[in-house]
Structure 1
Amino acid sequence: MNFISGLPRSGSTLLAGILRQNPRYHAGMTSPVGSIYMAMETAMSRRNETAVFITEPQRRDMLRGLFSSYYAQLHPQKLVFDTNRAWCTKLPALVQLFPEARFICCVRDIAWIMDSVERLIRRNAFELSGMFGFEAAGTVYTRVNRLAASDGLVGFALDALREAYYSELASKLILVEYSALTQAPADTMRLLYDMLGEAPFEHDFESVEYEAEDFDAALGARGLHTVRRRVEWVDRQTVLPPGLFERFENDMFWRWPDANLRGVSMIQLTR
């Protein structure tokens, strides 16, 4: 068992689409396992008066059993990469449940994440998005502020990543920059396989496919999990107002000089 986490709109679905070309692997968009895991944590907490009868070993067994129960019938004999942005907040437990697991964290310039979400909203101009509570009122400023809040789509993921990056378990992380994955996919995957201790595999970067049309349509965000067939970097001009785009220029903490105190493995373009 391995995990995919990190920031939204940063290549996690693309990475899953590439990994699933390998017949030994299963990977995909955010699965139901994360939300069920957290619901089980709540059910086994002191909030439930009968939780007094649940021992620590039972808690471990039930949480670990969730993964095997969910994936055993769907993808037997495959190495699973389960995706959820919350996994970065669960390292102390998950490392005990799966000592050999690695956590692949996809990252990207925060301003371009905001730009990507806003572009998606504008492409679905006649749909209200569940990312903003299906609210009709709002501006690009209120949307970005909502995303950046500590409980927002981007703010929560950024805080979770920061928590894991500076934790005592940071050596379990592998950060993969979106620019590296899209501009040098072959080199990126070669390095990733090496860091995972896995045998190399020849991927086809001209024919990567992944989509979740029904899920995206229900969220009012068609195209949210659609991956272009060809892996490539697309240069473009931002749709965000200048001041808003520049607001996030210092938020990529993993690029700060001397910030990598725990020896986190990273795959980046040479700058």
Structure 2
Amino acid sequence: MTEKKYHFIAGLPRSGSTLLSALLKQNPRFNANISSPVAPLASAMIKLVSAGTEISLSLNENQKRNLLKSIFNAYYSEPCAAEVLFDTNRAWCSKMALLDQLFPEAKVIACVRDIPWIMDSIERLLLKNPFENTKLFSSESERSTVYSRMATLAKHDRLIGFPWAALKEAYYGAFSHKLLLVEYDLLVRSPEKVLKLIYQFTEEPWFDGHDFENVDFEAPEFDEALGLAGLHTVRKKVEPIEREPILPPDIFEKYINMAFWRNDERSRSSVIKPTSK
């Protein structure tokens, strides 16, 4: 049996990771989906086998590595024709050293977007679900106004703040050469061009069967459990949607300069942005 090849999708929320997964899975060689539980399962395993636990006394480094790889193998053990697995979780950018040890040939694709537009997209979803208290917020004070909502999401351990910090760590870190950043706006404007660059980065042969007019992807059960219907719904046709922001201007201005990957080249990461050739 041929061993599966792994790549990983991470980055910022509302930045195209679901769309990218939907496009990649059009290739029968690929498997891609919304966020999987593999990253938190790996974190739980590391906690169990780390110094200070009774279990750690019985394990060497090779056994720990095998236990961690077994999580991936078990999760993807169902019969599947796909040869290449793209596992999605925003935590992967904070686990680049682990991925390098487990899968030395793996690449990480991080979907990125301006933070104010991410916030604007989330706020639009919240307004479409007025009868739900989404699990994004843990108290009435957090969800009470657009100011408290956006400040909460920007915290270091919440929906936007954590993946932004993890992305920044990966961008400047020791394994940055394994990281590819994909700008959302370019993905929806030039999907074929961007997808070809992703294929090149992951060293996978190009698949001619991608259809950018008929994309199919949704995860209603996951979204309903979170109390935010529509979070992982992808429009059938890949195209940009022009719109005016609904956030107050001061919120937009507060977070507008957080796209560090645009102008700071002190990294070995690759970035697909409008200036890419």
TM-score, normalised via structure 1 length: 0.96
Q: Give 1:23 deviation, angstroms.
A: 0.2
Matches of 2:82 and 2:21, distance apart in 1: 18
Structure 2 CA distance for partners of 1:74 and 1:5, relative to 1, 3 Å:
farther
Matches within 5 A, 1:224-239: 224-239=231-246
2:253 aligned with 1:246: yes
**Matching residue of 2:3:** none
Q: What amino acid maps onto 2:95 in structure 1?
A: K
Q: Give 1:74 deviation, angstroms.
A: 4.4
Q: Give 1:50 deviation, angstroms.
A: 2.8
Matches of 2:93 and 2:181, distance apart in 1: 12
Matches of 2:113 and 2:103, distance apart in 1: 27
Q: Report the count of equivalent residues.
A: 269
- Which residue among 122, 139, 143 is the counterpart of 2:145? 139
2:216 aligned with 1:222: no
Q: Give 1:245 deviation, angstroms.
A: 0.8
What's the CA shift string for 1:210-245, capped at 9, x where partnerless? 111011111110001111111111111111000011
Structure 2 CA distance for partners of 1:45 and 1:18, relative to 1, 3 Å:
same
Structure 2 CA distance for partners of 1:211 and 1:77, relative to 1, 3 Å:
closer
- Which residue among 8, 11, 34 is the counterpart of 1:29? 34
Q: Give 1:77 deviation, angstroms.
A: 4.5
Matches of 2:201 and 2:61, distance apart in 1: 32
**Matching residue of 1:75:** 80
**Matching residue of 2:107:** 102
- Which residue among 177, 180, 188 is the counterpart of 1:174? 180
Matches of 2:59 and 2:94, distance apart in 1: 23
What's the CA shift string for 1:196-215, capped at 9, x where partnerless? 11111121001111111011
SS in 1 for 2:78: helix
Q: Give 1:261 deviation, angstroms.
A: 2.0
Q: What amino acid maps onto 2:168 in structure 1?
A: R
SS in 2 for 1:65: helix
Identity %: 48
Matches of 2:82 and 2:144, distance apart in 1: 47
Matches of 1:141 and 1:110, distance apart in 2: 14
Structure 2 CA distance for partners of 1:219 and 1:21, relative to 1, 3 Å:
same
Q: Give 1:68 deviation, angstroms.
A: 1.4
SS in 2 for 1:253: coil
2:71 aligned with 1:60: no
Structure 2 CA distance for partners of 1:159 and 1:141, relative to 1, 3 Å:
same
Q: Give 1:122 deviation, angstroms.
A: 0.6
**2:28 touches 2:82 (CA, 8 Å); kept in 1?**
no
Structure 2 CA distance for partners of 1:31 and 1:2, relative to 1, 3 Å:
same
Structure 1 unaligned blocks of 5 or more: none
SS in 1 for 2:28: coil
Greater shift after overlay, 237-246 or 66-75? 66-75
Matches of 1:49 and 1:76, distance apart in 2: 40
Q: Give 1:133 deviation, angstroms.
A: 2.5
Q: Give 1:143 deviation, angstroms.
A: 0.5
2:192 aligned with 1:186: yes
**Matching residue of 1:48:** 53
Matches of 1:185 and 1:159, distance apart in 2: 27
2:207 aligned with 1:201: yes
What's the CA shift string for 1:161-207, capped at 9, x where partnerless? 00000011100001100011000001111111112111111210011
Matches of 1:266 and 1:129, distance apart in 2: 33
Structure 2 unaligned blocks of 5 or more: 1-5
